[in-house]
Structure 1
Amino acid sequence: MSGGAGADGMTAAVAEAPVNGQSLYVSNCVGCHGAEAVGGIGPTLLDTAAWSAADFNGAVLHGQAPGGRTLAPVMPRFAESGFGGETATDEQVEAIHSYVKSLQ
């Protein structure tokens, strides 16, 4: 038997932790949109709870609100900047949207 892979020759799979929308919101959004998403420097996000996933993704990732409206330049384009220095994923954006919806 060769060493290191376990008794049956298979390695254990490492499960990734679920994406935490609240944590992502706090580290990336709260500074402008407030702890309860009611606004501050940036606008309230409470109305985004009714947005489709595609609309929310467009705003967060590319700065495009529904109807083709371009968001202010101060809004990060997370498709470019990522979250915490890593490429933003659809799963992360969905988790943030779910968290914002939970604030209703």
Structure 2
Amino acid sequence: MSVGVEMLEYLKEYYTTESKALKSRDLRTLFNLTDKQVRNIVTQLRQDGEPVCSSSHGYWYSDDPADIEKTIHRLDAQVRNMNISITGLRKALGGTGNEEN
């Protein structure tokens, strides 16, 4: 069984609400992973359609549409902030910031 599947099963079994969310540092310890590995696994699980939610409280597995929407909203905000940073960096290169790639 892969670490990602093990992590998913663990979250499904024990961490199913935001109030019981598991911190990234605890996942790192439990599965002997780096922070980057935890993020990559969570990203892959989400890309596979698994509703792994997150907040400042940690990670949890949820079938609750409100939890999933809240996580989507948070991820959308991160994407917007990254795009603002990209625009600023393009300006630093002498462009207007509106150029694509």
Pick the structure with more strand per residue: 2
Pick the TM interval, shorter chain.
0.3 to 0.5
Which structure has more relative contact order (CA 8 Å, sep 6+)? It is 1
Pick the structure with more helix per residue: 2
The alignment's TM-score, normalised by the length of structure 2, stands at 0.33
Larger radius of gyration: 1
